[in-house]
Structure formats: C-alpha cells, structure tokens
Structure 1
Amino acid sequence: MAKDSSKGFLGTPVPRRDARDKTTGRTRYTDDHCIPGMLYAAVVNSTSSHARISSIDTARARALPGVRGVFTGRDFPQRLGLYLGDKPALAVERVRYSGEPLAAVVADDEATARQAAALIRVTCEELPVVATLRQSLQPETVLLHPALDEYIHIPAIFPRPGTNIAHHSRIRKGDAAAVLAQAEVVVQGCFSFPPRDHLAMEPRVALARIQADGTVVIRTSTQSPYGVRGIMSRVFGIPPGKIVIEVAEVGGGFGGKAGIQLEPLAYLLSREMDGRPVRVMNSREQDMTASPGGPGLEATVKLGAREDGRLLAAEIEFLFDSGGYADYAVNVSRAAAYASTGPYAIPHVATDSYCVYTNHPFATAFRGFGHIELSFAVERALDLLAERLKMDPVELRRKNAVRQGDTTPAQDKLDANTGNLRECLDRVVRHIGWQCEVSPSPEQTLDRSGLNREMLKEHLVRARGVSCYWKAPAIPTFTDAGAMVTFNEDGSINVITGAVEMGQGIHTGLAQITAEALGMDLHMVHVVREVMTDRGPHDWTSAASRTLFMVGRAVLAAVEDAVGQIKRVASAPLRAPEEDLEVRGGRVFLRDDPSQGLPLAEVVLGYVYPNGNAIGGPVIGRGKYIARHLSHIDPETGAGRPGLEWTLGALGVEVEVDLRDGTFRVLKSVCSMDVGRVINPVIARGQVVGAMAMGIGYATRESFRFDQRERVINGTLRDYKALRFGEHPQYVVDFVETPQGDGPFGARGLGEQGIIGVPGAISSALSRAVGRQVDRLPLTPEYLWGLLKGSEADDTL
C-alpha cells in the first residue's frame, strides 16, 4: 500500500497482510505440513468421566499391518502442567474426565492408526463422579487428586492437599464484613454457568521429530512457542537450546492454545519411533472434549451501598470449574480475584476465588481470562442493587465507575493511564437509546411499556441492557518480548518477533508501527510471519491482549537501535555529528538541510566510498520490553500489582423477546472501550465485533451438557450450537482514545475485551424483558420460558 509517509500510517485502515492468502485458501496451517517419513498417531479417549483403569488390551491393534507401536500411560508417567504439574500425557491408572486420552497408536498412515485405535479395548472400574463445584468442596467427596501435595507448582499457586481445590486466591481490602453489617442497602445473588468450548476453526495439532544431533523439533498450533519450549525442557530434562518450536499460522486460539497441549505426546511418540516425525491431531470431537475448554463458574456476590447508590463494600466468592486437571484455570481464578469488583470503586472488598477439580473436561484460558466470568456475576448483582434502590442501572454504574486515583481490589492505585469509563458508558447509552430510569421488578406486569421495554405486539417486547467491564493482562511478573530488525539491499526492513498470528492481525499492526517509527512506506516493511524459537527473539506468549502492547514496544526499541547504527555509519560520509541526522522516508539526512543525505540502501548494509573503502556493515536492530513494576499479590490480602494496564469499556444490547415461548433475538450490540490509540481501525473493529459475536454465543447457547455420569452429550458441531450467519445483530463499535503513556504510540490491549460485557448486558436486557432477574447462563428460550411461566423450565430438552 503506497501512501505519503509524512502523514503516517497510524489510525489508517490498512488491509490485513494475510487476508488474501486466508480467503483464497493458500495459507498453510500446521496440518498442511508433510515431512518425508512422517508417521501418524491416533488417540483412544475415555468414555468414563471417573474410573480406575483395570486393563487396556492392545494386542489386536499391535497386530494390524502398518502399526508401528501402541502406548499407554504406563509408558509415559511424567506429569505436565503450566502452573501445576498434575496431568500425564496419557491417563495413568485413573480417568478424571470423559474424553481423557488413554492410549495412542502410531502407524504408517492416518487410516491405519484410526483403525488400530478402534481395536483397543479398555476395561474400567467406575468411580463416584464429582458433578458440581459445591459437591467437590464437601468433606466426604472423593479426592480427584489424592497426591496433590506431591505435584510441582509455581510459588504463586496455592493448592490445598486433601481437598479438591487446585488454587485459592484471597483479596482483603478494608473491612468488608464490618461495612456490610452497617450498610443501608445490601443485596446478594448467586450466579452460574457450565463449562464450554473455544470452538477455534483449527483443531489442535502437533508434529514432532528428533534430529540426529538430539534436537527436538516440534511444529505446532500454539499461541505460546516459548512457553511450550520451557515446559518441555523442565519436564523432560532437555536443554532449551535443543528444543525448537515452529509456529506458522494458527487457525484461532481464544486462549485454548495458550498452554501446552499435544506437544508432549507428539515428542514422546517420536522418541519411541527413533526420532521419526510423528503427527498428533485432534478430530473436531476430540478438540472439544479431550483438549481443554473454558471453565464453568458458580459465584456469590454480596454488595453493600448507601441509599444514593454509592458502593461501600463487596463480599465475593468465585468457584471456577477446572475439570479433571488444573492447566490455566488456576491462573484464571487468580485473575478473577484481583479484578473481582469489575470497574467500580469499592473501598472494602473480601473475595475468595477457588479453582476446583470436578469430573468435567479440564479447563484452560478462555477469551477474557476470568474477567468475562466475574463480570457476569458482578453486573447481575449491580442490577439487583439498582432494582432494590429503584435506580436507573446506568446511573448506578456511572456513579461508581473507577477513575484515576481509585484503587483496584489488589490495592493498586489507578494512575494517569486510566481510561475514561464514563465516556465509554455515555457513548453506549447514546447508541442504544437508553432512557429507562428504573429496572423492572418481578412484581411488575409483563405488559409494562416504556422506552426501554417496548411492547411491539401482544407477544413481542423489546428491551435494552448495559454493562461495564475492565481487563488487565493476567501475566507473570517476569513477562518479556523481543524484536529484531534487519535490512535488505533496497533499504527495506525485516521485522522478526516471537508474536504468533492467530487471526488478530498482529503482523499488519507491527508493520504499521514500524513504518510510522521510520516514516517509511508500508510496502518496505516485511514482518516475518513464522516463529522459530531457535532464531527469533524470546516472547512470553501471544495472549492476554498484550501482544501489540509489548511486542510493539520491543519493535520500537529495535527500530531506535537500528536508527542509532544508521546515524553512526552515515555521520562519516555526511561529515556531520550523529545528533544532527534524521532517518525518515527511506533516507538518512541532515535535519536542518534535508538535501544533504543518503538513501538507506547505501547505508544499512555498510557504506562504500567511491574508492572502494567500506565502513559499517549490516545494521541489526535489537529491541526488548519487559513488563515494569509488576509484583506478586500477597497470599493473605491479595495486595500487589499483578496487572500491566487496564482497558475499560462499556457494552449495550437491544433484544426482542417473544413472550409466548421465550425465543428472542439480539437486535443490536454496541461496544465502546478506551483503547488508548487505534493503530488500525478496521482490524480493531474486527477484533471487537468478533469478540461481541463470541460473547453472544457464550451468553445464549454455548455450553457443555452432561448426562448422569457427567459425560458430555453435545460434543459435536451438530449438537453444540454456535452463532450462525444470519443470526448476528447490528454491531456498533465506538472507540475512546485516552493515550496509554507507556504503550506503543499510546495504544493499549483490546483483543479480548469486547466479549467481557456481553453476558451481563444481554442478561440485563432479558431480565427487563421478562420482568424477572436471570441468574445463570446460557440464556436459552427454554430458561426464559420457565421464568415467564413462573418456574424455571428444563433447558436441557
């Protein structure tokens, strides 16, 4: 894209660089790579949710021609985990969720591997299932991990041996109990929803091989190549320099590919095959139930306030459903704790957030990382408070919205980088036409009319709902990003980072940042699209809505380093001190006399004098960024600074409900968030619209359903209902720009935030439409029909 570089590229709707390849099918994903001599693995999954493995008969599978090996958990007893090492690659002695991998077959081709897997016979002794979070916490409940005290875990995670609690986070800010006892108004609500799947378009896949020198090479669909390398090194004792993780394009992640997935199994199978390449790939059904999904939640929120609506105190309990293993869910529960109040100024807070084992499919990071869960519970409680106070729900939120100088539940003071939540809320209110003053109570009749609950016909009603949200990245205190820039003969630049492209448009954004920093035409900036850990700079992971923030900072530092080198080389032939030189528009020149200068092409690989003498050499810019001023949270009080930067926003929806049967449509969804600075408005809007669409599915239909033995009964795309084309509402995105002082050109994260407020806003609108406050997800027509009839219907029909 050619453009006058003097006008800059920030805020310009530059087309995505990968758009044509992806829309024409030319993009090569992990499964599109075929290595000579590659073998194929097929996995046998448990049909029990909790059982003791009596035997695994592999004789018939081993005898099938073309089978190279059959393996069970006894062959691979190592326990893996990002934060808590509780999970083997294949189940050992015990099954903890339906879908858990039990055995793996390696064969010459995929068909033979699957045929052999079907011949394996597994005998299990069924054990009592732990079906609910409350049941899991009962003293007499069976322990899913009796050896919890033996598991290795990082210092910031606090499992409770002898219980089913994988982690417990405490927040104690002020004295919530004492203030609640004296508060003029107190409300309490209980809210819940079940586990669910990410439903990324690309199922998880890993291809491992071991080279003759012992180097382990794994090509995989992961958001976290350096994280995978680190865990593989620790668990298997392989020097990190002997592990290479390769990542090309990733077909969607949403947090589900942020941890460690199929890579260990692919490596172990390759090791058994003398290093030959082995591919392990999920089917769609395996990806939904064998690999991790999003956690479920049971929450209790108690709020105390003055009669004018000013919030005084909150007592909050979150129970996160981790399923059979901990994975990322322990940190999800931690993130929900330190952000537990949502974006509201509450002086006194007591929060207990637990990560709890059950016999459900295990959970990992999910878009929003604990904030979508906490937001639903807090926003529902705020609507209960507004109803009790007979106060406009928007005014209640505006009155209590955080601003600079307020403190988070972790007692971290919000500084000048804090966004403008009130402006976001005001914009949402304007876009959806909010004029309702009082939230309806259950006693109000269903024919109540009003601008925010409009009766269109005898059976059709429209209503609106709003919510506010915030999010800070839930990242370790040691969180880094690196970048390198090199140059080509024509003076164009190559940008090399560890950022993974998984649909968010990061490579286009980094190209714009680089072009802006150098005043260079965008077509002269080439961002390397493939990540290889043996040649790219270290990067924590592409997650937490911090990739553009942190990698962008690293790229700017690399460009600055390169500019310094360019000036150093050019100062001699230009006979001027370095501080008098400028690098812009593909040239290096005297700042006060731009006619005196050189094309970058004559400098970046070394300058050659007319007589043949040469100086300088290839310019290689190096940049880095590490999250600053982060700290652990105190295990007793939760005090600390665990969040890098806070993105604030508001969301509103309009719904139409048929009062005869509870069916409804979301007509309009509006999101306004303070993103600091918009780098690319088209990509930014696409991120937010995609998040809102995902949030509508999350709120209204997407969740696992279980039978009496806690086995998933909707683990196929036929039965697991996602939002389809034709069901989307009108989307409105309106960005507020309060620059983030330490962000690249003032930008802050926005990738996940658009989903966070959706469940709360839809719940609010539907509560207003049916005249009763809803308290659980998904918001199905069956559930609403039950509320309309005065009792909750069975929405599993």
Structure 2
Amino acid sequence: MASSIGKEVLRKESGQKVTGAARYTGDTSKPGLLHAALAVSPHAHARMLSIDTSAARSIPGVRAVITGEDFPVLTGSPLEDRPPLAIDKVRYFGEPVAVVVADAEYIAEMAALQVRVEYETLPLVQSPLEAYKPDAPLIHENLAEYKHYEEVYPEPGTNVASRNRIRKGNMEEGWSRSIHTIEVRVSMPQSDHAAMEPRCSTAELLPDGKAVIHSASQSPYIIRSQINRYFHIPLQQIIVHTPLVGGGFGGKAAVQLEFLAFLASRAVGGKAVKLVNSRERDMVSSPVHIGLESRVKLGCAADGKIAAAEITHWFDGGAYSDRGPIMSKAGASDCSGPYRIDNLQCDSLCMYTNHPYSTSFRGFGHPELTFAIERAMDVMAARLSMDPLEFRFLNAIGPGDTTPTQTLLDRSTVGNLPMCIAKLKDMIRWDEQPLIEAKGHFVKARGVCCMWKNSNTPADAGAGAVIIFNADGSVNLLCGAVEIGQGTRTSLTQMVAELLRMDVHKVSISTDVNTETEPQLWKTVASRSTFLVGNAIRAAAHDAIVQLKNTAARVLQLPSAELEIGGGRVYSMRDPGIGIEITRIAFGYKLPEGGTIGSQVIGRGSYAMRDIKELDPMTGKGKPGPEWTVGAQMVEVELDTRDYSYRILQAATIIDAGRVINPVFARGQITGGMSMGLGLASREAFAFNEEAQVLNPQFRTYHMLRYGEQPAYFVDFVETPNAEAPFGLRGIGEHGVIGMPAALANALSAATGIALNRLPLTPERIWRTAHDPI
C-alpha cells in the first residue's frame, strides 16, 4: 500500500469551495431569525455616568436593548477583567456598551446609534512604556479583585497585567566575559488579524434548555466551557457549531461575540439572534494583534559567542488582558531566540493601555520577540565585522543546550537549526552575492534571521478522536479540529489512511465541528491541532486495529500477534494469502450457523500534553511545551535612495518540520505566513489619534501587501523527527510569519546604513529615521 504521508492530497472541502456550496457562519439563517448590532464607545477612556436606551427601544422592529448593567459579569482567560458590555467605564475606543436586537439588521444598526451614553473622559495611556510609569493613569483600579488562572501575575496598583521573569546563569560572569556589548530598542505596533471573514455568531436558546451557538471560531469547546462558567448552563446543554472558517490567525480563538449573541437571545426569550461584524466594527471593537516595546542588551566574548543578554519586553496588551499575559509569558520563555545564551535575564510584561485589547495572533508573541533579538543579533554581527549568517551559525542552539526556562534540549525537542542555516545559504546562494550591492540610486540588500517557537500550551491541553468503520471498509473520522483554511482536517485523514494502511479517499471527515458529536480539542491554535489530534488519532487507530485483529484472529484461528492490516484486509504475516476482507468483519463476522464474532469497529483515542511544567514566577524555570520548531529566513530588497521607496524582491524560509505530512499544505502555510509577516513589517499598523481613536478601520486605509507587490517566495524543509509527535511532525502553521519583520528590517538597515528598529517600515518612517534618528 502506497504511503499517504508526504503526499499531495486534494483538500476534502475543495469541491464545496469551488462550487460555492461551502457554508460559513454568516450563511446561517432560519425563519424568524433576529439581528443584533452593537452600540460602541466613541471614547478610549471614560466613566459612564448614565446610559439611556429609550430612543432605541422606541424604534419599530426593535425587540430588546441590553447593557452591561443587565449582565454584570467579568469574563476572560487567564484574567477575568472584561465585561461583555462595558460597566461603569470604557477602556478603549469601540468598546461595546449595548446590544440592540431587532427584526432586521438595518433596524438594529439604526437603533444602536440612538443609544445615549453620558461620559466623563479620563486621561489616556497610549503606549506600554507610558503605562509603566509610576504616575500613569490606572486602566484597572480593581486589578487586585480580579480572579485569575494559569500563569499570570498581575501587579495591583499599576498597569501591569502580568510579569514573567527569566533568571538563568550568572549575569556578572557573563558581562565580565563580554568584550563587545550592544543595546537596541525596538517597537512593533498593534495591527489587525485581517481575516477574510469578519467575526460572526448566532445563538438560540431552545425550549428544552439547550443553548445552540453557531460561530466562526477557532475554539468552539472554549465557547462551550465559558458559557457554562459564566451563565451556569450545563455543558451537555451547550452545543456549538463551527463550520468552515474564513481565516482566523488566532483572532477567532477569543470569545467575544458569542457572549453577546447568547445574551441577545436570552433577552428575546431564546429566539435565534445573529450578530455579524462589519469590517469596520471588526477592526475597531474586536481583539487585535499585540504590540511591543523592547530593549535588548547583548554581550559577546572574544570568540564571537554570546556571553550575556538582558532583555525587557513591554507588550501592549490593550484595555483588557485576554491572552496577552500568556503571550508575554512566551516573550519570556523564548526570549533568547534560537541561540545558546548561558547567562540571561528577561522581564516580560503585559501592560494595560487604552488601545484595543489583544488576543492570540499567528506566532503568539514570537514575531515580536524575534524582531527584538534579531535586530540585536545583526547589530552585534556588524560590531564584530562578522557575516550575519555565520554569527548565527556559531551561536545556534542545539542538543545539550538549555532554553531560557532551563529545559535541557535533545535532537528530538529542538531539531537542527545549523542544518536550516546551511540549507538557506545554499538556497539563496549566500556566498555568491554581496550583502549590499549599489547601482546608481538603487541599492540591493539582503537580511537574514533565525527563529524558533514553542507552543506555550496549557499542561492539560488535549484532544480526542473517533474512527468509525463502515460496512464497505471505509471510515469516518470525528475530531474537533476547525478548518480555518490551513488544511488540517485533510492532513488528519492522511494520518488515518497511513495508520490503517488504506487509501486516503476511503477516509471521510466533515467540514464542520459540532461539540455535541465530535470529541473535544483544546483549540485550533498554536500550531497544535495536527500534533494533538494526530496523537489522538494514533491511539484511535491502534484501538481499531486491535479490534480488527481480535475478530480476524478468531475467524482465521490464528494468534492476533501474527496478523497485519493493509489493503482492506487482515492477513497473516507468515502467509499473506491467508486473510479476510475488512468488509466482512467491520460490523462483526456473521457465522454461517448464526451468531456473530465481534461487532462494529469504532476506534477511540485521546491525548493530553505531557511533561509540561509551569514556569517559576521568579526564575522562569520550567517547560512551556513539548518541542521547539526552528528555522532560518531571508529577505532581499531593492531600495531607491532618493525617496526610500523599496521593492521586496524575494523571501526565503527553511524550517525543520520534523516530517512534512502534505507538501502543498506545508508550503502554502509557510508562504502565507511570510506574506503576512512582510505586511506587518512594511505597512500594517493601526493609526491612533491623540484620543486613541483608530483612524484606519477599513482596508482602504489599513494597508496590506496586495497582488503585484508580493516577492518571489522560496520554501524548503529540514526533517528532524520529534519523538513525541505522530510521524515525527512539528508544528509549522505560524512559523512563516515569525522572522519576516526582522529579516526585512535587517535588509533595509543594511541598504540604508540606518538602524531601523520601529515598525512598520514605510518609506516615510525610513526617511524620518534617516533625518531624525532620535
């Protein structure tokens, strides 16, 4: 039987998508469906003195108007600091203050504009460094009273939502060995997830007490658990449907609209209510990509090896914490980048500001920390007059080294970064071209970086899988992985086919997730879906194979240990001619005289993360995840020195993928990530005015890389198996984005001769830096 792993297999949902038959949450409809709209704050920081909904309620067709006073509950994970609707105070521009439910969407939108709130504006905090000052206005006066979970360490009386520390080695010894020291300060602004499909949710409360929610979500089981936690509905009574999702990038892992749709349905007697964000509302009111201000100080010994590093990250978590504290934890646990640094100190803080609140974003804190450490690496390489790739090769982390959290690495857990660097050098012909090449007004330059990522998942993150055999020998796979465009559900069928040694076309999987029928998956985030569900599938396939072999052993009167499965048969390893078709035993073998041996084969499996250790709050010692994915990246630019405009000519990535399950999906994920990373680096950012209002909340003014602006992309892989993962794979879904901002900044810094440490790198910003470096 030909292997299914490492092969190009057509997506299971392709036919639906190309014919227009694919259904998304926004397509949900039913007779009597009501519509909801949000009334939002025009201020970024203000007390709510009063709220008047009478004018909105008087509009014909309006069924209900609800405010924070109707449901005064605080939500959030890991820190419960956010009301679904503002109570007493608003903390960011666009924060929802009321929900209007009406017969039609336009009526709800019109009525939302009639909600009157009297505000008393308060002083603003617009940057994490400003928020860190002792006399900064407090965003959350009651921080000490908030419940919190996981590894979060708020500092009441300040704007610090959480602080993580790394203390490794002996800093005094490290600095004494340092012949060269450099320091860089970098910044990366908040930006949008910019998924094609805006956030949307529909909720209905049935007469039997069930709550049915449809959501474009990456975490349907988290929606279920949080509805249970905050509104006390039994878990078995909460059903969440997630069909195909039009992109997420982490932004749809947060629970926001689902709360509001649920509350809206409850306010109208349980009728079905749909809440769909417009693009502008999605960009202003929903959670965003986290920002960063950072300081990195590096010390290097005479032999070119890094002797010490001191790092401080101030993350712009925005008005509420959501996953910001866990991203700042990631900023600490992987702060060194993929380098051997024995003496290391890091403080990573998630700061409250009056910007929109942040949530998971592709890379989960790693594009930010990588930008910081990689700019420092390039500056140090220049100080040493050393080839930037050779400098990274010399300091590359590997087996026998320890991470910032003092986890001892082996080849399985860390992969092979030196091989990635070597392969990148060959791919881009690094040694055959100069780093900088000038021709008249045009300068070509290349920038490189290395990156790594650990998943930073909870210790109890897990997944289940069920493999159901049909009478014709085909199987159905049930699992909780959400299809957000990454191809995971198809890749999982390839795993099933490989383990059961059957044709992948005989493995079916639905395109949607139903929490009532599919086994639970923690979330579809962190490049963990294939790892978690894949391990559950491995257990489920083993369970199914045991059942098949046991039934076949009784029918064939052979020891089950002598049997093998493949090609639709169970057969003897000693004499493959002796065997039985799976179709004859998939539902039990019917004896000629009556009776049955065995029964329907249903393989069940589950998996939970192993050996994850919480980080010590004072030293950071612990283990944040099972393995690290490493890689090396390059960007080449052509700069016009007359106006600092530039073209991105090519971008390259080598990643240690452990084992590539589907080459087309893998290259697509990496290429898409590279494009996203170059957009973040070159142009994407929210523009705030002095009142912290977002000035560019639509795609005419919020600029992304467009068709015709994309460079040539080059992607390849190293394959160093991860012993804990199915087939040795490593997570790669986020990794294309991680190093692109750093590589572009390194290339443009080389081309201009200017230290470019503030993103995004627009021509105007480069010009301003050149003329006013301060």
TM range (shorter): over 0.9
Match of 1:455 in 2: 438
Shift of 1:213: 1.9
Judge conservation of contact 1:783–1:792 (CA < 8 Å) in 2. Answer: no
Distance 1:760 1:572 in 2: 62
Instruction: Name whichever of 177-186 and 288-297 sits farther off.
Output: 177-186
Q: Deviations 1:573-623 (Å, cap 9, x if unpaired)?
A: 211121111111111122222222221111111111223322211111011
Match of 1:492 in 2: 474
Contact kept in structure 1, 2:35 and 2:103, CA below 8 Å: yes
Please tell me whether residue 66 in structure 1 is matched to residue 61 in structure 2. yes
Aligned positions of 1:164-243 closer than 5 A: 164-243=159-238
CA, structure 1 residues 431+532, in 2 after alignment: closer, same or farther (shift >3 Å)? same
Change over 3 Å in CA distance of 1:724–1:585 after alignment to 2: same
TM value normalised by structure 2: 0.98
Per the alignment, residue 37 of structure 2 pairs with 42
- Secondary structure at 2:576 match in 1: strand
Give deviations 1:522-577, integer Å, cap 9, x for gaps.
11101232211122112111111011111111111101100101111122221112
- The correspondence of residues 677-716 of structure 1 with structure 2, limited to 5 A, is 677-716=659-698
**Is 1:780 paired with 2:772?**
no
How far apart in 2 are the matches of 1:590 and 1:411?
49
Secondary structure in 2 aligned to 1:257?
A: helix
SS in 2 for 1:651: strand
Per-residue CA deviations over 1:719-747 (Å, capped at 9, x if unaligned) read 10011111110000010011111211111
2:338 matched to 1:372? no
Which position in structure 2 is the counterpart of 1:791? 772
673-682 or 133-142: which moved more? 133-142
Q: Which amino acid aligns with 1:252?
A: G
Q: CA deviation at 1:177?
A: 4.4
Find the counterpart in structure 2 of residue 105 from structure 1. Answer: 100
Structure 1 segment 83-98 matched on structure 2, within 5 A: 83-98=78-93
Give per-residue Cα distances to partners, 1:431-477, cap 9 Å, x unaligned. Answer: 223239xxxxxxxxxxxxx8221113x11110001000000101011
Query: What is the SS of the residue equivalent to 2:681?
Result: helix
Equivalent residues of 1:194, 1:296 under 8 A apart: yes
Give matches, 1:578-593, under 5 Å. 578-593=560-575
1:26 to 16, 21, 29: 21
Task: Identify the residue that residue 75 of structure 1 maps to in structure 2.
Answer: 70
Q: CA deviation at 1:178?
A: 4.5
Q: Which residue of structure 1 aligns with residue 608 of structure 2?
A: 626
1:749 paired residue number: 731
Match of 1:428 in 2: 424
Structure 1 residue 122 corresponds to structure 2 residue 104: no
SS of the residue 2:31 aligns to: coil
Other-structure match for 1:141: 136
In structure 2, distance between residues paired with 1:586 and 1:36: 46
Q: Which residue of 1 aligns with 2:746?
A: 764
Q: Structure 1 residue 14: deviation in Å?
A: 1.2
Q: Which residue of 2 aligns with 1:444?
A: none
Q: CA separation in 2, counterparts of 1:177 and 1:467? A: 28
Match of 1:505 in 2: 487
The one-letter code matched in structure 1 to 2:308 is A
Which amino acid in 2 is paired with 1:434? Answer: W
Q: Select 2:460's aligned residue among 473, 478, 483.
A: 478
Which of 507, 510, 521 is 1:528 aligned to? 510
Give 2:636's aligned residue. 654
1:672 aligns with 2:650: no
Find the aligned partners of 2:603 and 2:177 in 1 and give their Cα distance: 61
Q: Secondary structure at the match of 1:153?
A: coil
Q: Which runs of 5+ in 1 are unaligned?
A: 1-5, 437-449
Counterparts of 1:276 and 1:528, CA distance in 2: 28
Please state how far the C-alpha of 1:291 moved relative to its aligned partner: 0.4
Percentage of identical aligned residues: 47
Match in the other structure for 2:318? 323
Give, as a single letter, the amino acid of the residue that structure 2 aligns with 1:376. Answer: F
Structure 2: distance between partners of 1:708 and 1:28: 42
Maintained 8 Å contact 1:250/1:502: yes
Paired AA for residue 634 in structure 1: D
Task: Give the Cα–Cα distance (whole angstroms) in 2 for the partners of residues 174 and 680 of structure 1.
Answer: 41
Aligned residues between the structures: 773
Question: 510, 516, 520: which one pairs with 1:538?
Answer: 520
8 A Cα contact 1:201 1:251, kept in partner = yes
User: Cα distance, 1:224 vs. partner?
Assistant: 0.8
Partners of 1:752 and 1:179 lie apart in 2 by 33
Match of 1:8 in 2: 3
State the 1:339 CA deviation: 0.4
8 Å CA contact 1:16, 1:683 repeated in 2: no
Q: C-alpha separation between the residues in 2 aligned to 1:22 and 1:414?
A: 43
| Amino acid across the alignment from 1:468 | C
Specify the alignment match of 1:244 in structure 2: 239
Q: How does 1:402-417 map to 2 (within 5 A)?
A: 402-417=397-412
- Give the structure 1 partner of residue 580 of structure 2: 598
Mapped to 1, the partners of 2:207 and 2:599 lie a distance apart of 35
Deviates more, 1:603-612 or 1:336-345: 603-612
What is the distance in 1 between the residues matched to 2:173 and 2:691?
43
CA contact (8 A) 1:607 1:614 kept: yes
In the alignment, is residue 518 of structure 1 matched against residue 500 of structure 2?
A: yes
What SS does the corresponding residue of 2:252 show, helix, strand or coil?
coil
Deviation at 1:319, TM superposition (A): 0.3
Report if aligned partners of 1:177, 1:315 keep a CA contact under 8 Å in 2: no
